[in-house]
């Protein structure tokens, strides 16, 4: 079996990066399929893990450093892609929830619809459980900027996951009518 | 007021994300007990954390590694659907090569003008032109097959030295699936590229890339065995006469063995293995390609 074969053979470090990468790179903005997203993420994981450990800054754990490298590589990808697609279609023109047909959970749909700056902050803290200080260092932003992003991301997530009044009405009308039978 | 509100939000976020020291945490919990609004917000945010962890717990497992890591410099993922369709169309289409084309022309000539008097004269003229063309071809013939094979071996050694030791750049397309690599490579060469199976010799595919060959672009597939030793396999499309014997070249520890396969391509195996082993691998790869 190849050393770079199925993901089950990956090191825990590589798998954790892939999990974070898949969560980060799934974005309504691009409308990529899962294979393309996985191909992108795997490439970025390879490049991240190829970094020399002596390049790691002092005071940052190896895990935070790798996540930080991954985020930087992903940001670079986004910049290049935006530059390449400039003029083809206005960014953000697609409607939120366009990918509702995909078999995702409500959280995944909400995360796809979020801007990636908010998504990367929330994923580092909620999914990867980095402390606020570590996450701010990984994203190369100030602690207050991180807190602002987290607050916005949580507000967006709450808004996306709360059923709108009309949907709530439909859900209620679909519920079976129960009667008390004596 | 804004600063106070921001501070309260920062404290709530720190509580939810486990960043408050224990003493501050206890104080915050007391505050939460007396303020329903804060308690509700914390409950929502804690539920968000749980939902995110549950949703993405196995997201890395949902898509296999087989189609991974084909990149150009932009990092843009390849359109595999389009590439696959292209290869399929190419495979369905009638092969158009010099031999097929000349056979086609020959049949047309026979049908239309087999018994005409003028055709005999025309054939004589064509024959003279063909003889002249053959003489010119002989006079300007390129290097003999062995010499060309040596060039392929040199190119394979250069590719091995350039890419195999470099973990970042070793392959452009990381996959253990030979078919997936063929689907990725073939459109780039406008002809089907066979990626041989060397599992019988204990070597598993790692991925591939396009690299400069001896005379043009070449496909370079990389394999590794259980000990982590890597060998490269370079396939360079060109019209070649059959070669009966493999050609080997060595530079330092790296040896390349080049053979021509039945398909219009050269095939070179390169690595740090002993020459007889590489010859064996080259023959295995050649047999694997020829059997398709």
| B270 close to B232: Cβ distance less than 8 angstroms | yes
Phi then psi for residue B271, to 5 deg, are: 175, -170
> Model confidence over A35-65: pLDDT tens digits?
778 888 888 888 898 888 877 777 788 899 9
Find the mean pLDDT for residues A138-149.
94
> Model confidence over B193-214: pLDDT tens digits?
888 888 888 888 888 888 888 7
* Contact state of B78 with A36 under an 8 Å Cβ cutoff: yes
Rounded to whole angstroms, how far apart are CA atoms B204 and B219? Answer: 17
- Preferred mutation among A27, A32, A33, A42 to probe B, highest tally of B CBs within 10 A: A42
pLDDT(A179) > 50? no
Provide the shortest C-alpha distance from residue B247 to chain A (in Å): 28
Rounded to whole angstroms, how far apart are CA atoms A163 and A154? Answer: 16
Provide the shortest C-alpha distance from residue B152 to chain A (in Å): 26
Find the mean pLDDT for residues B142-170.
74
Any chain A CB within 8 A of the CB of B82? no
Based on its alpha-carbon atoms, the radius of gyration of chain A, rounded to whole angstroms, reads: 19
ipTM for the predicted complex:
0.79
> Model confidence over B229-247: pLDDT tens digits?
889 999 887 665 555 577 8
* Lowest mean pLDDT segment, chosen from A124-128, A144-148, B129-133: B129-133
> What is the band of B19 on the pLDDT scale with cuts at 50, 70, 90?
very high
**Mean pLDDT for chain B?**
72
Tell me what pLDDT residue B80 has.
Answer: 43
* Contact state of A7 with B65 under an 8 Å Cβ cutoff: yes
Provide the shortest C-alpha distance from residue B93 to chain A (in Å): 28
pLDDT(B277) > 70? yes
* Contact state of B52 with A107 under an 8 Å Cβ cutoff: yes
Minimum-distance CB partner of B70 among A5, A39, A133: A39
Tell me what pLDDT residue B230 has.
Answer: 87
Tell me what pLDDT residue B170 has.
Answer: 77
* Contact state of A23 with B59 under an 8 Å Cβ cutoff: yes
Phi then psi for residue B232, to 5 deg, are: -110, 150
């Amino acid at each position: 079996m190849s050393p770079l074969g199925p993901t089950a053979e990956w090191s825990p470090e590589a798998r954790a990066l892939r999990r974070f990468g898949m969560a980060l790179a799934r974005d309504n903005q691009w409308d990529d399929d899962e294979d393309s997203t996985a191909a992108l993420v795997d490439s970025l994981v390879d490049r991240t893990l190829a970094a020399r450990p002596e390049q790691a800054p002092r005071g940052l754990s190896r895990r935070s450093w790798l996540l930080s490298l991954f985020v930087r590589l992903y940001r670079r990808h986004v910049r290049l892609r935006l530059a390449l697609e400039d003029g083809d279609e206005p960014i953000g023109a697609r409607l939120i929830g366009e990918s509702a047909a995909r078999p995702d959970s409500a959280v995944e749909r909400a995360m796809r619809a979020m801007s990636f700056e908010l998504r990367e902050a929330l994923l580092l803290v909620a999914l990867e459980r980095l402390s606020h200080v570590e996450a701010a260092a990984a994203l190369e932003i100030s602690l207050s900027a991180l807190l602002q992003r987290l607050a916005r991301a949580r507000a967006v997530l709450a808004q996306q996951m709360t059923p709108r009044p009309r949907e709530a009405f439909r859900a209620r009308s679909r519920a079976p009518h129960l009667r008390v039978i004596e | 007021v804004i600063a106070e509100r921001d501070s309260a939000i920062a404290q709530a976020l720190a509580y939810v994300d486990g960043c408050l020291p224990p003493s501050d945490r206890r104080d915050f919990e007391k505050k939460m007990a007396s303020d329903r609004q804060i308690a509700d917000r914390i409950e929502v945010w804690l539920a968000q954390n749980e939902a995110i962890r549950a949703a993405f717990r196995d997201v890395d497992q949902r898509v296999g590694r087989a189609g991974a890591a084909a990149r150009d410099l932009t990092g843009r993922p390849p359109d595999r659907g389009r590439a696959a369709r292209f290869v399929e169309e190419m495979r369905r289409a009638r092969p158009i090569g010099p031999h097929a084309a000349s056979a086609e022309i020959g049949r047309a000539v026979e049908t239309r003008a087999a018994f005409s008097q003028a055709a005999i004269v025309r054939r004589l003229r064509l024959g003279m032109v063909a003889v002249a063309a053959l003489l010119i071809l002989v006079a300007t013939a390129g290097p003999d097959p062995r010499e060309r094979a040596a060039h392929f071996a040199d190119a394979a050694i250069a590719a091995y030295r350039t890419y195999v030791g470099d973990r970042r750049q070793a392959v452009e397309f990381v996959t253990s699936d030979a078919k997936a690599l063929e689907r990725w490579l073939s459109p780039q060469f406008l002809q089907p590229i066979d990626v041989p199976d060397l599992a019988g010799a204990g070597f598993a595919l790692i991925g591939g890339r396009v690299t400069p060959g001896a005379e043009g672009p070449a496909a370079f597939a990389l394999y590794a065995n259980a000990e982590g030793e890597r060998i490269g396999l370079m396939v360079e499309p060109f019209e070649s006469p059959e070669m009966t014997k493999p050609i080997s070249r060595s530079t330092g520890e790296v040896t390349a063995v080049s053979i021509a396969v039945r398909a219009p391509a050269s095939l070179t195996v390169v690595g740090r293995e002993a020459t007889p082993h590489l010859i064996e691998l080259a023959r295995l790869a050649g047999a694997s390609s020829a059997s398709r």
